Structure 1
Amino acid sequence: MDMKIIKKEKRLCTCCMEEHEVKTVLVKDRATFKNLKVDYDASYLYCDAADELYMDGQQMQENDMRLKDAYRRAEGLLTSAEISGIRAKYGISQSDFCTLLGWGGKTITRYESHQVQDKAHDTILKKIDQDPEWFLSLLNNAKSNLSAESYQKYFDTATALYEKAQDSYMRKAIEAIYAGFQGNQIFHGNTELSLDKVVDVIRYFAASAQITDLYKVKLMKLMWYADALSYKNRGFAITGLIYQALPMGAVPVGHNSIIDLKDVPCEEVDMGETNAYHFSLKGAVAFPSLSDADKNILDAVICKLGKMTKKEIISFMHREKAYIETAPRDVIPFKYADTLQI
């Protein structure tokens, strides 16, 4: 029998009723739960004298949970530990969590101990785990049913989680805008949107000593040239961004949200009557999402356009066939990349 010994101790063996070294072992078991056969690691006590496996009361409970968690994993449901982990994340008690969700008072206790949740409840728990903003909304609705101290504690924890998750919300919002364009490869340059690459491209430009006065208008043009040059040379863009023809040249769809993404080194500068957005990155930095070939494209763009002023790069962009042939505010197709001036 294939078993893994995890503990040995001298004790009364309730199998043979003699005192000797008893092993605690893990054994691969298979059982059927809700008409599904699942494999799981079961814990047993092993008696060498009788060459038999047996369980105590605690092991019976643990093995029941191991079986049910194996079933949960097979069905794509949260395990008991993952459910308790969600509670721990928000620092909320089992009973208050039920109050928040409008469930029976012992529902979470059962899910964390012996009962497998249905898919509807599982979906709700997963959303709570991923969406602290929704937790805050539910918390507000349940405020009258919670103590003031508990409410404030949960509110503070969820607010901190929400603030940390803002980049995730921002990314989802940008991805939602781009979802409608996915069927048109000529708009996104044969590349699915990668916000990791978008951020790294901005950081790469911001870190370059060869680029002067990198403000938002200039950055947007550099990004378009990088994607267009990549498409011209390799048949696909770097970032998957979609660009519109605005009065000062190419600008990515969702540009205002893009510059607010986490790790984008953007500083808002007071220019008197208006504010400007400056991009700068100092020190040793890494760009994990960019390949060497991507960096070669960016370096070519920097070499050609890095020293241009805002006025010069706008004028240069306005001479591109891609800009001339695209109606104002329309999406600029990548089919014009072959006529690129760089």
Structure 2
Amino acid sequence: MKKYCDICQCEQETQVDNKRETFSVRGEEIETVSDIRICSICRNELFDEELDTKNLERVYQAYRNKHNLLSPFEIKQIRESIGSGRTVASLLGWSQATFVRYEGGAIPSASHHEQLLRLKNDPTYLNYLYDSNKNKLTDREKRKILAQIDKTDPAAEQDPVDFLNKRFAPFYNKGITNIEFDFEKLAALVQIFAVTNRELVKTKLQKLLYYADNLHFKRYGYPITGLVYIHHHFGPVPVNHDLIHWVLESVGVIETKPYDGLYEGEILMPTERGNQDLFSNEELEVIFAIAEYFKDFSATKISDFSHKEKGYIETAQREIIPYRYANDLKLS
């Protein structure tokens, strides 16, 4: 691989060597062997983001091994056994962003790690957390937690929300989105948009969701709902958008009424105003910024607006629009 060498002042062939280095992790010196890229001519060390990331992961793993800490994979398994990242964070009294960092490789604090260990090893701890924090959960989340506690809920496998969650799980597992799909947040977000945008139709809703998730990703590094979007004739739309609409209607999040429009035949009517307590202040700021910016846009106008986004222009029909294009979003 060729890279620019600031000593040679030109591109040179490089090679990967290794050396012993010491890093500070939580105030403790951890020694590991790092892979480094060097210039083959002058032996100058060159920056390599991929190698640096792997070296940091290696250091963190050495620290975990020394102190018998849970790995990111084990933390993810604990979370998956209970529910969404936001659900488990609510039970534990954490922010969702904290859980995202731990699953992404950050070292948990001592108190947080103790909670995770109890959640993994003590079946009664989930019951305790539920009793202490159930007021922070939606009704659907409460049913899922109770089913997990007693294993006696026969309707759990038939729940439309569970079915939708399973359809979106592979996108998170494959790293296409860096946050797990959260139906409760999606439901509340749809209701908020339906309240703030009169005569909301599906085409416009799909664009509002796209802009909300991508603007939050642009500002804070992760989307709000965990949805994944694809290139469609009318602009970006969520993957499984027809299934999403069916689930939203079937579990009573929205109702529809006839509408004589150019693209859509139904107006989306919220059954509630949308639970704002599910969102952080930063998420609410993004949500209402999007609602305000596009409140007077018709479905046609917002579709045309979305066609000018770089992520849409550089993808083909039905191709996933990666979140890396959020940095090029026309909104800031």
Q: TM-score, normalised by structure 1?
A: 0.48
- Higher Cα Rg: structure 1 or 2? 1
